């Protein structure tokens, strides 16, 4: 485990200053206190999610169709340049609908990087809005790519965490970017810390899947001003990618409620318009999707996956990865886990194959993270 690195200009916050003073004078006592703080934050997050009564969330579900901006960085002008075209859909925890949940994401305008983050809900019990840290982390990570021209997820995660650590809070994070330093091929680089993650799918099969990082069950690695984990603890990968590859990126609200094969089934079934229609009709019949609302917009694959995860999160009987993992840890838990759900579906496309559909819609509040 990497040791914590103090910032050159520590934030002027009494709580943080006291912790640092305690670390200097009583290191053993301080470390024990920080472990307890992180543990309580994580446990509070889990208990909040499991005890809330299920409610309808359709009125505050949020969909963002994120393409590529008209302007491009110099590297984008290269022939056959690869980048992401992404659809994002978020469904907040029923108890957190009014503020839009505590997840956050970013998608670069030039399509070179994407990321998601899950704010740890336990901070709310201490008077801190958990979404502030996750949103700050994603906003700063995006700035690393768009303003500072980074091309490495770990470097952007380090820089973003340094900025985010000026406020109280903690969050998981998963950042992906496309690196075309090699002329013969493009590399998908990733840095994943905690229990968010992604799947890389090619020709209908999963060829890469991140592993959860947890200190113990329901206590994920998380970045934060008082957290044990550091950016250097992130799981890193570099994978050769090609046009047509798909990435399913999500927070634990997705992966706790849907098994990998269920996500893959939805993705494969929706390759055709008929399959997309069948999946949509199925959700309408189950009451998970409002048919009238579809008259005004198109349903995305990201939405279908998110709504399926939401459906299972409200079930007390369906088999889920969360219940399976809980049982493996000696807990008698059935059904899904209520949580914020963020699903980002990114398709690797070429500049030469995009045509006129690469314009980004007018940005919503979420896409500015």
Average pLDDT of the residues of the chain: 80
CA atoms within 13 A on the CB side of 127: 1
In a domain, 9, yes or no: no
For residue 339, pLDDT over 60 is answered with: yes
For residue 38, pLDDT over 70 is answered with: no
pLDDT score at 201: 98
Tell me what percent of the residues of the chain surpass a pLDDT of 90.
Answer: 61
Question: By the 8 A CB rule, do 25 and 251 touch?
Answer: no
DSSP-based three-state secondary structure for 38: helix
- The pLDDT tens digits for 69-93 are 333 333 444 445 899 999 999 999 9
Q: Where are the beta strands (DSSP E) in the chain?
A: 62-66, 82-91, 103-107, 113-119, 170-179, 186-193, 197-202, 205-209, 214-216, 219-220, 223-224, 235-241, 246-250, 341-350
In a domain, 334, yes or no: yes
In a domain, 4, yes or no: no
Instruction: Provide the whole-model pTM.
Output: 0.76
In a domain, 78, yes or no: yes
Q: How many domains does the chain have?
A: 1
In a domain, 2, yes or no: no
pLDDT score at 289: 81
pLDDT score at 284: 83
Question: By the 8 A CB rule, do 133 and 96 touch?
Answer: no
In a domain, 267, yes or no: yes
pLDDT score at 258: 98
Distance CA 243, CA 353 (A): 10
Phi-psi region of 156 (alpha: psi -120 to 50; beta: other; left: phi over 0): alpha
Question: By the 8 A CB rule, do 150 and 160 touch?
Answer: no
**CATH number of domain containing 335:** 3.60.40.10
Residue ranges making up the domain that contains 29: 16-368
Q: Which tokens sit at 316? A: 């007390």
- The pLDDT of 194-210, averaged and rounded, is 97
More confident residue, 294 or 197: 197
pLDDT score at 292: 75
- The pLDDT of 168-197, averaged and rounded, is 93
For residue 349, pLDDT over 80 is answered with: yes
In a domain, 59, yes or no: yes
CA distances from 132 to 99, 123, 169, 224 (A): 11, 10, 7, 11
Of 32-46, 104-118, 178-192, minimum mean pLDDT range: 32-46
In a domain, 11, yes or no: no
pLDDT score at 64: 54
More confident residue, 70 or 147: 147
pLDDT score at 55: 32
Comparing C-alpha atoms, which of 69, 134, 73 is closest to residue 106?
Answer: 134
pLDDT score at 291: 81
């Amino acid at each position: 485990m990497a040791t914590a690195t103090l910032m050159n200009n520590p934030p002027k916050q009494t709580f943080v200053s006291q912790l640092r003073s305690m670390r200097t004078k009583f290191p053993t006592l301080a470390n024990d206190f920080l472990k307890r703080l992180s543990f309580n934050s994580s446990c509070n997050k889990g208990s909040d999610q499991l005890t809330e009564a299920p409610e309808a969330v359709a009125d505050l579900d949020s969909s963002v169709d994120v393409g590529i901006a008209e302007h491009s960085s110099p590297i984008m002008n290269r022939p056959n340049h690869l980048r992401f075209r992404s659809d994002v859909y978020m469904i907040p925890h029923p108890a957190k609908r009014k503020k839009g949940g505590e997840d956050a994401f970013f998608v670069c305008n030039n399509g070179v990087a994407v990321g998601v983050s899950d704010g740890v809900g336990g901070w709310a019990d201490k008077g801190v809005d958990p979404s502030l840290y996750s949103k700050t982390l994603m906003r700063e990570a995006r700035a690393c790519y768009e303003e500072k021209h980074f091309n490495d997820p770990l470097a952007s995660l380090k820089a973003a965490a340094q900025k985010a650590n000026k406020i109280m809070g903690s969050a998981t994070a998963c950042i992906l970017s496309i690196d075309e330093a090699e002329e013969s091929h493009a590399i998908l680089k990733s840095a994943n810390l905690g229990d968010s993650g992604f799947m890389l799918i090619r020709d209908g099969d999963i060829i890469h899947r991140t592993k959860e990082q947890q200190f113990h069950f329901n206590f994920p690695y998380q970045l934060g001003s008082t957290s044990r984990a550091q950016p250097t603890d992130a799981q890193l990968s570099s994978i050769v990618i090609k046009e047509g590859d798909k990435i399913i990126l999500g927070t634990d609200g997705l992966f706790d409620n849907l098994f990998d094969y269920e996500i893959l089934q939805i993705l494969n079934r929706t390759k055709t318009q008929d399959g997309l229609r069948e999946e949509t009709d199925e959700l309408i019949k189950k009451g998970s999707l409002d048919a009238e609302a579809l008259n005004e917009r198109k349903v995305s694959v990201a939405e279908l996956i998110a709504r399926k995860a939401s459906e299972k999160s409200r079930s007390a009987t369906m088999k889920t990865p969360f219940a399976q993992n809980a049982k493996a840890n000696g807990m008698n838990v059935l059904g899904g886990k209520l949580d914020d759900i963020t699903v980002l579906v990114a398709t690797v496309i070429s500049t030469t194959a995009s045509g006129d559909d690469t314009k980004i819609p007018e940005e919503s509040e979420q896409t500015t993270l």
